[in-house]
Chains A and B, each alone.
Chain A
Amino acid sequence: MLRYAFRRILWAVPTIFGISIVAFLVTTLIPVPPRLPLAELNDALAKNPAAYDAYLDTRRAGAFDLPTFFNDAPRDVRAIVAECVDHLAKNDDHARIAAHELARVGGAAFPYLLPTLDRLEPSARERVALALLPVAVRIGEDDDPRAHDPATAPIFWEQLWEDRSLEFTAPAVRRSVQRLLRGATEGRARDLIEVDTFALPELMRAMRDRHTSDDGVARLSQVASRASGHVVVVPLAMTPAAARRIRADWSTWWSTHGEDYVALDAGERIFASLADTRYGKWLLGALTGELGTVTRDGEPSSQKLAECAPITTTLVLSAMFLSFAIAVPVGVIGARRRGQRVDHVLAAVMFLLYSLPSYFLAEVLVHAVGTDASTASRVVLAVLVMTASSLAVLSRFQRASMIDVLGQDYVRTARAKGVRETRVLVVHALRNAIVPTVTLAGLQLPFLFGTAIVVEEVFALPGMGYETMRAVEAHDATWLVATVLVVALATTATLLASDIAYGFLDPRIRERLLKTRGVAE
């Protein structure tokens, strides 16, 4: 049994992977904003660096400049330093952007930049050293006049590296972070400010740590904001909710910007070539439950889902329950009275209900009760409409499996023994015949969700379907993708559960599954 359950769960893995790919492909339908040409970028940077940074941030948030599935050359701080120094040495069209980039990466670049400074041409060395001036401002060393003068700036930075290179190690930073968490003083914060962005990986690690107190999060956030330039508002009086928001904000920022501040070793490089892609970034976001913010009202989609999902789930589950409650007796009666008038009438009614477009039925009912009907009556009508459309499949399946069972020898034996007919039907036959019908529940789920969209829209019930239509009107891609993903995963989970339950009830299923190679029946 355990082996069966394990195998079945293992087979769900490719499906879940496929679901994530489909949902991701839906996100790629949204057109990527075109990249600004280099001349315009240079222009924007010269006129308004803040706007230039904002432009880069939107491109990074959407991971627009990353490859879709595989990144053969993931960028890390070393690559960025090499690239920027190259442009600055050549002093080409990219030089201005490279200088800005180098200043943004800041302290994290020092271990790969400052020791190699004296290997550069004198003029190149000056340009690089001067580009670092904003970093000097950040780390509070801009009162030294040497940093401002092209001739002396290289000496200033070389000297700084000689004095402080010991601070630019992960253990030293970790100790500083721990000291800061124990209590905030000017000096402890300055230790971290002095290593600038080099502290970011440790700051983020501490922020993710569950033991970090809310005040600690606020302190870390302030230091990180100063180094990275990413502003996160920290309220004067910290609350757990504010701490959660700050943590979430930084984790989102780190997931899009983190690779700029760390150097990858060989193993991390392999991981990064998969993770530093549009799909990888999207998947990591989805896995951490951050399905993005709802663009039209700024509410996180996960929270909005938590609000509307119960309504839709209630509708779907009630409809499913009700259709089983009706379909099973109908199927049993049809099988018992097979070929008689009752059977034909029931089959015809079920068939007509099956062909009746659910939104047409819903619309007719709305016309009948009026738009200002109470919520309770609208919910009841919605459930009835959804039930009507799913009855036929279930009742026909139940009838077929009941006919199958009624022809078995043990049923004849029971009858021959003089067991009453109702007892034969319910206790002997139905107990076996109902199992295949119940397993249909998993397959009914996507169908009922599909119906729910239209029905909620017609009856104006604020569930997932209703919200989805509002999102369609507002072109709110985040919500649409989140809904698709959640519904598909819910379906997979239900199918998995019903398959395992089926295997639990019927050993033949287990054997068949263990023998075959997981190919859909």
Chain B
Amino acid sequence: MTGRPGSLRHAVAIVRRRRWVGACAVLLAMLALVAVFADELASARPIVCKLHGRVHLLANVTRPAELGGIGRDRFEATRAPGDFAIWPLVSCGPSTPCGPPVARPLASFAHPLGTDGSGRDVFARLVYGTRSALAVAVVAVVAFVALGAALGAAAGFFGGAVDFAVARAVETLSSFPVPLLALVVQALLPNSGTWSLVAIIAALRWTEVARLVRAEVLATEVRDYVTAARALGASPLRVLYRHILPMTISPIVVSTVLGLGQIVLLESALDFLRVGLPPSVPTWGEMLSESREHFAAWWLLLLPGSLLFASVTATNAIGEALRDALDPRIRT
């Protein structure tokens, strides 16, 4: 049961047989786990601890006020008999320095990937950078795919003035280099931050999805079963929702997967130029831009860079494998 050729199920079945796609999926899943459990991997607060007779569960997530910014050293110094703590893999947060402000390479057990120029733990920054990259990418992709699908479907289904307006908007936005426009808007907005970044990306990237969905809607609309549904008295919206939109799922899935990698790339480039997420948020791009100031510290350049490269490669590989399986004409 693998579905008919050209269907999404068929494509997924083809793609799953490829071993390297599996490897990419595993890599992405691991990154997602890292992003979700960032607090358990690196935090200045213990996961579970008993201090002065009180037990704190998941202190790394809830951040109780009475613990303050307690570090491992302070805890050891102030502990009473019977107190205990279970620490994350690295007991160091991403933003506070936990050592002298010197970049140290693969230093010790406490800082497995070394520290950066301000003495912050590189492992912790990479982990939280994964979280910010994936979070922005997922939210922005959902936003721009939804926007593009809605506008593309409307353009294809209603035609006429709607189609004209959407087509002109697509053409206009495709004339701008997305990084340039995103950079300028983000730089000029008086209170730019995470949400403005997501909004800008969504507003600039929906065009491709809209184009694909519109083409699919136009191709589906003339099929016999749609005519049949209309002849049976289905309302236009029902035809759109039940009979046409399900057919656009394939381009939407492909755009979503490919979009993830592209957004991670775009977002990290903006962070690299210091106009992306606010400076308080650790990101791969910001780490890379910091590596410019510490020329000899190769690990500050290569670690975030290869993580970025790996995640973009993985999403691109899966996305393109899906696209090729859906449309055998492109890669014969």
Contact = CB atoms under 8 A, between A and B. Distances in A.
B174 A446 contact: yes
A453 interface: yes
Interface string A341-359: 0000000000110111101
B205 to A, nearest CB: 12
B330 to A, nearest CB: 6
Nearest to A472: B187
A469 B265 contact: no
Given A453-B180, A488-B176, A492-B175, A355 B190 contact: no
A453 B183 contact: yes
Interface string A186-227: 000000000000000000000000000000000000000000
A495 interface: yes
Contact of B175 (A31, A364, A495): A495
Interface string B161-199: 001100111111111111111011101111000000000
Give the most central of B172, B215, B288, B329: most A CB within 10 Å.
B172
Contacts of B175: 15, 19, 446, 488-489, 491-492, 495
Interface stretch (A102-110, A153-161, A237-245, A477-485): A477-485
B268 A357 contact: yes
Nearest to B270: A454
B309 A355 contact: yes
Interface string B275-318: 10000000000001001100100100110010011001100110
B181 A484 contact: yes
B18 to A, nearest CB: 13
Contacts of B173: 22
Contact of A446 (B176, B211, B330): B176
Contacts of A357: 265, 268-269, 305, 308-309, 312
A520 B211 contact: yes
Interface residues of A, number: 57
Nearest to B320: A351
B273 interface: yes
A491 B168 CA distance: 15
A371 interface: yes
A19 to B, nearest CB: 6
A457 interface: yes
A484 B176 contact: yes
B171 A351 contact: no
A469 B173 CA distance: 22
B298 A18 contact: no
A18 B169 contact: yes
A253 interface: no
Interface residues of B, number: 52
A354 B187 contact: no
B163 to A, nearest CB: 6
Given A15-B172, A352-B313, A472-B187, A446 B177 contact: yes
Contacts of A475: 187-188
Contact of B184 (A359, A360, A403, A484): A484
B106 to A, nearest CB: 18
A14 B291 CA distance: 44
Interface string B248-272: 0000000000000100010011001
Contacts of B180: 449-450, 453, 468, 483-484, 487
B108 interface: no
B331 interface: yes
B332 interface: yes
A354 B170 CA distance: 24
Given A446-B175, A453-B183, A484-B176, A15 B295 contact: no
9 contacts: A19-B175, A26-B185, A355-B309, A360-B309, A396-B331, A450-B180, A477-B188, A520-B170, A521-B215
Given A364-B302, A449-B180, 16 more contacts: A15-B168, A18-B171, A26-B184, A356-B309, A360-B309, A363-B301, A363-B305, A367-B298, A371-B295, A446-B178, A468-B183, A492-B175, A517-B164, A520-B167, A520-B171, A521-B211
Interface of B: 163-164, 167-181, 183-185, 187-190, 211, 215, 261, 265, 268-269, 272-273, 275, 288, 291-292, 295, 298, 301-302, 305, 308-309, 312-313, 316-317, 320, 329-332
3 A-B pairs with the lowest CB-CB distances in the bound complex, closest first: A18-B172, A450-B177, A450-B179
Interface of A: 14-15, 18-19, 21-22, 26, 29-31, 338, 351-352, 354-357, 359-360, 363-364, 366-367, 371, 396, 400, 403, 443, 446-447, 449-451, 453-454, 457, 468-469, 471-472, 475, 477, 480-481, 483-484, 487-489, 491-492, 495, 517-521
